[in-house]
Structure 1
Amino acid sequence: MVADGDLERYRLLPGDVVFNNTNSEEWVGKTAVFDQHDGVFVYSNHMTRIRVIRELVLPEFLATFLHYLWSAGYARNRAKRWVSQAAIDGPTLLKFKLPLPPLPEQQRIVEVLQAADLKPFHEAAEKADLLREMAAGASLSGRIPEAWHDANITEVREASLLRNKILGIEGETTDLDWPIVPLLAVCTLNPKLHPDVRPAADAPVTFVPMAAVDERLAAITAPEVRNYAEVQKGYTPFAEGDVLFAKVTPCMENGKAAIASDLIGGVGFGSTEFHVLRPDTRLILAEYLLHFVRQRHFREQAKAAFVGTGGLQRVPPDFFKRVKLPLPSLPEQRRIVESLRHVAPQPFRSAIEQAKRLQSALITEALSGRLTAAWREQHAQALAEAARERDARLGAPAPQVMVHITEHAPTERRTDLARPRRQALIEQLSSFQHEVWNTLRFEWRGAVLADDPAAFEEFCTSPQTAWRLEGFAAGREEVRRALEQLAAMGLIRKMSLPRPNPNTGRTEYLTAFRPLREADDGSRPEEDTALADAERLARELERRRAPEAR
């Protein structure tokens, strides 16, 4: 509730940008523009409200930029973390720098990105999810084709009798009926790690943060590897074949659950926001259990049992003591699991992931200015006027690019060699070295002239190219030292580029750094172009000596 006196303080108005500042890591950084015109709305303490100066920036442009900073890792690297939560406070947010094209160009960028909206993909996936839930509900309620039952009656009858014997079911029951049994009669809740399987302190183990579980695929898609000493206390242990069930809002409502598989040494650790269900494999398949706990009506019952307040409500362990489920025989469970594989979400998820990659690339091009380069030339006069108005409001002109280097790229030759040594070097980079490397590869995209003060200043400070370096408080010498170190490790090329000196008429050779030329799929083309660089410089020297000889 918001007190009447605080209503205006927390009220949202159309055009306000809301930034999710505190939550699980997958939710922090999500940004949107508030567009409701009817009613009174307020924002929670998990969000930051940003009210833009409309004469300088469009809300949609700012929202796109802030969301991109998180997805690209810039904001993520500056977030505070504890357990499975992350946060970006106001002072940190205020340090972010925004590329600010004139308003007409911002509008053009917004229009192009809105045309590439992924909403149709998500709507199609949601419809597929609904159909899949209907299929799962039908299967779990006993609707197995009679033809299959008739063809497998002997196996089903024997398995049903064994199930009933293990559960102690007697009396007037048909062995082919599906008994309704307590959930905890067929699985164990939050089992402890057995002392006999505890790894050595420095042994690698699988670690599963909440963000590593894909709620649509019901799978662990991005597990981490950590030393046992780092995770043995304060995290949730589990074993191969256990079902992980997110207990915290909103992850539980979204259906985050998965089977732990391919664990290093057969054991793993994860977020404290997981409940672990270990199936009794004599009675229930892990896949069947997973389908059961992911049903919408099961999640609605779990939500009704929430305890806690605010944004961190959780499903208590006692809830599972009250849950009952229909228990077909193991052959029938296998039939159900197999039939549900035919309505798997993978095709939709693959299409969405591919569309996300394309959209991310489009946003990168848009925020770098490359996407609107041709459009900018066509509207140069109007943009110049808009830029003057922007600069007048800001009180300072936008920085100008002073040096441009155009470098000829020799033809690449694919060799497809493995590069384990190079990968080992990459894994040893510090966070700062990694961001300098990424700035050169992805933002600058060419040779940076380290000996030219204006060019190097732009590389180190320009909001359009150096946003990755913000927050490290690194000076120019530290950036150059990182480039030298990357070149020494063979991850970038250090080279000399000729530049005529108009005052002396002589050719100077300035130190430059450029990224190695790599194939998109990560395989190795011809990287070692040092000889080509040397030949190029030799030709340049020969060309300049020719007039002197005459």
Structure 2
Amino acid sequence: MFPATWRSVSFSDVCLLNPAFDSNNISKDTNVSFVPMSAIDETTGEITKADVRQYKEVAKGYTAFKENDVLFAKITPCMENGKVAIARELINGIGFGSTEFHVLRPTEHILKEYLFFFLRQPRFRKRAKSAFTGSAGQLRVPESFFIRTRIPLPTLGEQERIVAILKQADEIRRLRLETAEETQKLYSALFLEMFGDPTSNDKHFKTIRLDRLGALDRGQSRHRPRDAAFLFGGVYPFIQTGDVANSDGWITNYSQTYSDAGLAQSRLWPRGTLCITIAANIAKTGILTFDACFPDSVVGFMPSQHVTSEYIMFVLNFLQSAIEARAPKGAQMNINLQVLNSLLIPVPPKIVQQKFTDSVLGIRNEKELMNSSMQEIDVLTKSLVSEGFSGKLTAAWREGHKKQLEAVASIHDKILVTERVKVAIKESVPEHRPWMAQTDRMWVKDQMSELQFDVWTAMRKWKGTLIPSEHLDEFMATWPTEHLENAKEQVRRALEQLAGLGLIAKISLPNEDGEYVTGFRGFREDEFSRMADLEVLGEI
């Protein structure tokens, strides 16, 4: 339950959705901001790389918006990744960008920052994902989702209070990220100070071939096919090129494991091994923090007494571009072991290398503490956002302003009723779409498969909403399904197909934990289409 002075409203009550662009008084040579999808930083929610274009270049084929509009990425995976931003500092107050943006223009009833933080919630994006339409790879959140979805609306004063707190949490998180980035730069700065640039060996250290500085060998994965199921699922960590490339220097995570059979056709490398990629990602490096297996697209290096793994790793990091340039250009770049064997490595005194290694490990420990702190900040931020949009965050403030809020809420109600925002849906609604009148869909029933007909018949008898994640076993017990292979998956697919045909309704609703889940139900007696659903929701 929301506080008494809050209201639950549709987005269309407080925003203009994808408003038409008024091109009057704009010359074709007017400069405007251009915002491709890549310009939105999904971590900070800011527009970071806007371009300058002339109006005549973008007038057609792009999405238009104005200063202070909120941009919401509607296509997968950008939507799930959190690409939401407030359009700020636009040239001449005008922007154009990807057609994969929804534009939400706040009215006087809602702050743009309040709207921004609400759209950025993982919970909201999860709900939006459940409303995706389209085919795989081209899934999008339709505009109609914002018309039927509701948002909690405090008074403007309380919105300002919520936004101020969430901004503070966001700023703390941003500063922590900047500190982590600066810490990462310390590695390279320290190396250059102690050893100079290894690409030019400007400190004139003696150079030795890499294969003479330690044991260098390729990983193993002898069985074909390499993805045979029996090779996996055991206790032996198995890493690949992506794990090395994304390791940030030390490999601390793995997503796959080998079974005993997998280990038998591979090799278990000890903790401390320097891993070097030679396929797809060329000369990316990472040091194992646990024993692990890897395929022949990764090379393992065990240092001799003359060098440390950390020193060799940073030398290779500086040489990475030069090594990659030696890879043949093809469908997938790769290098052979000989390329690594023959690399000439500057070798400073071991005592100096060890000093560098000790310093690097000290910096890494500090960075791990920062990462732990960052995780705590993320948990705190998530809690603040949840409490912010439920009313808990500002409960004490609300109690201290009770009389003023009640008066403002009363005025607010009258305004919302008399000035309800009208929204023009630009999406075309062809006759074959699921929201067609049910009586016009009789021919589809004759084309259904036996399973589709059984599921549709069961849905007509099912009381309430069917939530597959909770009710599927009970639902499937209402007719014989023992003969079906992968019965649950087939029934789930049939439900999706029936919803796509407009014979049942697919909806999103909160469970007991407040998480939004997908549900299915038969059409109510007072409705015959999804369009009717929207009309009913619009009257609430």
TM-score, L = length of structure 1: 0.48
Report 1 or 2 for greater relative contact order, CA contacts < 8 Å, sequence distance ≥ 6. 2
TM-score, L = length of structure 2: 0.49
